[in-house]
Amino acid sequence: KQEVTQIPAALSVPEGENLVLNCSFTDSAIYNLQWFRQDPGKGLTSLLLIQSSQREQTSGRLNASLDKSSGRSTLYIAASQPGDSATYLCAVSDDKIIFGKGTRLHILP
Amino acid sequence: EAGVVQSPRYKIIEKKQPVAFWCNPISGHNTLYWYLQNLGQGPELLIRYENEEAVDDSQLPKDRFSAERLKGVDSTLKIQPAELGDSAVYLCASSGQQAGTGELFFGEGSRLTVL
């Protein structure tokens, strides 16, 4: 059974810093991995989708990597801003789509 | 292009009452999901539709929950009767590809409070 873990559960960093969020999964036989952002009281917004054949995807200040063999993905956020404060969730897709519990990120002005 | 639309955004009911949530997916998306999200947790799948067929409802508590997607477009999730533990956010998502192979798009969610 696929399990997805996100560590840390919460993170606070000063504005301007680069940061890395982690996602690990137990079964490497996945179709893809997707990173989402969720603001309080809102739905999930798709940030990046990495197919199983890809190693990374980039969008603006965001870069997501995927290492299937080790069951890990990272989301790199460059030059963090207060507007980046949100919960970030990863989801892996095999026969089902399984979500982690998310990392609550707080960027300190 | 319109995103996934859900209604109502908020619903407060007393226990044992019925409640229904509606979802309209992105146009052309044949795959539709209903998820439940508790505070501080990731979404958990309730049911997945491919067109009008429920292809994965193994996590749907069928004694009180039901769902339908009659014409393969919009969908309704119903709870009857609601229990206190059903208080959560119900999220609808859609994808243009089958079986989790494509990008997932979510609506804003319907927040249910059962008193």
pLDDT in tens, A94-109: 888 999 999 999 999 9
Closest residue, chain A, to B92 (C-alpha) = A43
Q: Cite the beta strand spans of B8-114 per DSSP E.
A: 10-13, 19-24, 31-37, 44-50, 53-56, 65-68, 75-79, 88-95, 105-106, 110-114
Instruction: Kindly give the pairing relationship between strand B44-50 and strand B53-56.
Output: antiparallel
Contact pairs from chain A to chain B, CB under 8 Å = 55
Q: How far is B70 from chain A (nearest CA, A)?
A: 23
The pLDDT of A48-75, averaged and rounded, is 96
AA identity, residue A24: S
A41 versus B21: the higher-pLDDT residue is B21
In this prediction, residues B44-72 reach a mean pLDDT of 93
- Tell me which DSSP letter residue A79 carries: S
Q: Report the phi/psi class of residue B81: left, alpha or beta, with left for phi > 0 and alpha for psi in -120 to 50.
A: beta
Q: What are the backbone dihedrals phi and psi of residue A82, each rounded to the nearest 5 degrees, phi first?
A: -55, -30
> Does the pLDDT value for residue B37 go beyond 80?
yes
Mean pLDDT of B39-68: 94
Look at residue B71 in the predicted model and tell me its pLDDT: 87
Q: What is the pLDDT of residue B2?
A: 82
Q: What angle do CA B55, A25, A16 make, to 5 degrees?
A: 115
A22: closest CA of chain B, how far (Å) = 15
